[in-house]
Amino acid sequence: MKHSMEVGFNFGATSGIITTLGLLVGLNASTHSKSVVIGGILTIALADAFSDALGIHMSEEAENIHTSKQVWVATLFTFISKFIAAITFVVPILFLDLSKAVWVSVFWGFSVLSVISYGMARKREVNPLKVISEHLLITGLVVILTHNLGIWISVRF
């Protein structure tokens, strides 16, 4: 059961952070609108949490090595962790001006992802710095690409 909880949590939280950061940064760059960014986050928190939960559900079922209860635990933990991870990004946007909130959100996302990555590295008994760096590099790439995509969208459309 612990494995199913870890799979759901790690996948959901990581996906929630990276997906929401990408959406937040891209929407900010294209619209500079608090309501659009908040609407996007709330929409993705719900829709993508369900989507990823179903994805984990089907993946775990396809392995054909887990009990039905293990599959559902992974599904539930994926949904909850993805939803909560995404929702946390609304807080700075509610209380700060949008440009500051974006920076706080990026810092928050990188910090939480670092903690998750550190825990995974310790469990696997590998160098935490290597794991954290790899995960933050990928997240940074997503942030840069979605920011530039948002700028392109605002100019093009």
Q: List the pLDDT tens digit at each of the 157 positions of the chain.
A: 888 999 999 999 999 999 999 999 999 999 999 999 999 999 999 999 999 999 999 999 999 898 999 999 999 999 999 999 999 999 999 999 999 999 999 999 999 999 999 999 999 999 999 999 999 999 999 999 999 999 999 999 9
Q: Residue 122: give the domain boundaries.
A: 2-156
Place of tokens 């310790």: 122
Handedness of CA 59, 61, 66, 69 (dihedral sign): positive
From residue 10, give the alpha-carbon distance in Å to each of 15, 74, 89, 135: 8, 10, 18, 12
Total domains in the fold of the chain = 1
